[in-house]
Structure 1
């Protein structure tokens, strides 16, 4: 078992399934106390037990609409009461919501997709920062390869939001560097075993996408959690404003 995060506290938003779940599990195995939020994917009992056994503490679990400032404020107050301070924030909440090209993308859907992917990140970060008082803080924002390439058809709003995550990350990295808080982003490519692709990607599209990946396979949530663990650790203290592309060689920034 790793001791990279012993004594640290971490919040992973959208941590009940997929990439967020795997990040939470690896952080707990590395010694961190875990808080996680979820909305539609409540963590299963096995996940909760594994987090408890790995970290020695039951996780703080909060059902949350991360686009609601009132709910985010209350959630972070609860996390502060339970954990005292926060060392690591992983902004993992996000999603495609619905495929729509320019002709079908009305303003209501556009705003909803931007809110899920950007408002959630802004609100959580704003309300988490007052808890990041020990120095050597880490913020990790989950973006997407779609922010580089534009994504598959119907991902216009989603790709726009994920591209904006890169700018958010770099600007915030500059702002928080004097506080010894690093801010970096992960840009996963095609990662199987996630609600995103289970919902929005057909089996035929999955097979076709894998043929474009030089590594010859789809990624897994574990492929994303490993880099997240490194960015959360002391080994990345001089790395900030960086986007880590995780796509098996499918795209080079």
Structure 2
């Protein structure tokens, strides 16, 4: 990003995890950042204070991306905070894991909540961003998907995997729709990553070892390792990259254990 550096990067779900790592790296590049939170107000405020102490321009706004009205209000607030400085990028990082278990345990309410956040929220936020990018003639969207989309998820996560597969498909379709307007749309598909959402596993050494054994790199990712390619995709260094789904997964999955040594 060069001429667009004065405009903000909006990171949904940016108060922790991958979104927070994206915010830190964006500020390090000199980009203004707006993060959103649904319930983690204290964490969002602490991150904003950290980013400002580092010399960055950062704001936190409350929004539930599962609610269209919240998303519309969010973008209007970003416009109001940056008059004359058009939005430069959107990272759709907000997401939920939803209920895990056999398909027979899911209710319509479970699925509606999962879809509203992971899929509908991503599409509505992208809609609002595209409207602004179309006026400015440039912009980049990065959707945070998951490697679960490629294999149907780990056991018990089929609905979550389906929601991320929908994000993948939307990414490609939207990229084709808006490319001629100077708008790029890509997805990053992380493998198992150390975040608050996965802390139940990462705090259990046996469970963590079992997960690591299914990854060719034999370890899980840090949030920053996923954030770095997201920030690259936002930048002008990726100016001819659109419609891509970038796997950030340590080599993907090896079901049944570690690969044989060469």
Say yes or no: TM over 0.5.
Answer: yes
1:210 paired residue number: 212
Q: Does 1:221 align with 2:223?
A: yes
Residue 250 (structure 1) shift = 2.5
Equivalences for residues 1-253 of structure 1 within 5 A? 6-42=5-41, 43-54=43-54, 56-57=56-57, 59-84=58-83, 85-132=86-133, 133-192=135-194, 194-199=195-200, 203=204, 204-251=206-253
| Structure-2 separation of matches of 1:230 and 1:141 | 13
Q: Which runs of 5+ in 2 are unaligned?
A: 255-262
Alpha-carbon distance in 1 for matches of 2:79, 2:2: 23
Instruction: Identify unmatched segments of 5+ residues in structure 1.
Output: none
Structure 1: distance between partners of 2:109 and 2:44: 33
Pairwise CA distance, 1:138: 0.4
- For the residues of structure 1 that align with 2:141 and 2:176, how far apart are their CA atoms? 13
Aligned mates of 2:168, 2:124 — CA distance in 1: 17
Greater mean deviation of Cα atoms: 20-29 or 3-12: 3-12
Shift of 1:45: 4.5
| Cα deviation code 1:8-51 (max 9, x no counterpart) | 41000000000000001101110111111111323355421232
**Residues 116-163 of structure 1: per-residue CA shift (max 9 Å, x gap):** 100110111122222223333100000001111111222121100001
Number of paired residues?
249
Distance in 2 (alpha carbons) for counterparts of 1:196 and 1:7: 32
Question: What secondary structure is seen at the aligned counterpart in 2 of 1:163?
Answer: helix
**In 2, Cα distance between equivalents of 1:44 and 1:14:** 9
In the superposition, the TM-score normalised over structure 1's length comes to: 0.91
Q: Following TM superposition, where does structure 1 have runs of at least 4 consecutive aligned residues deviating by more than 6 angstroms?
A: 2-5
* Alpha carbons 2:44, 2:60 under 8 Å: kept: no
CA positional deviation for 1:83: 1.8
User: Contact 1:215–1:248 (CA<8 Å) still a contact in 2?
Assistant: yes
Shift of 1:5: 7.2
SS at match of 1:170: helix
Secondary structure of residue in 2 paired with 1:178: helix
Deviation at 1:72, TM superposition (A): 1.0
Moved more, 17-26 or 39-48: 39-48
Q: Is the 8 A contact 1:4 1:233 kept in 2?
A: no
Counterpart-to-counterpart distance in 2, 1:51 and 1:207:
33
2: CA distance, partners of 1:188 / 1:115: 21
How far off its partner does 1:216 sit?
Answer: 2.5
Q: Distance in 2 between matches of 1:162 and 1:55?
A: 35
TM superposition shift of 1:97: 2.0
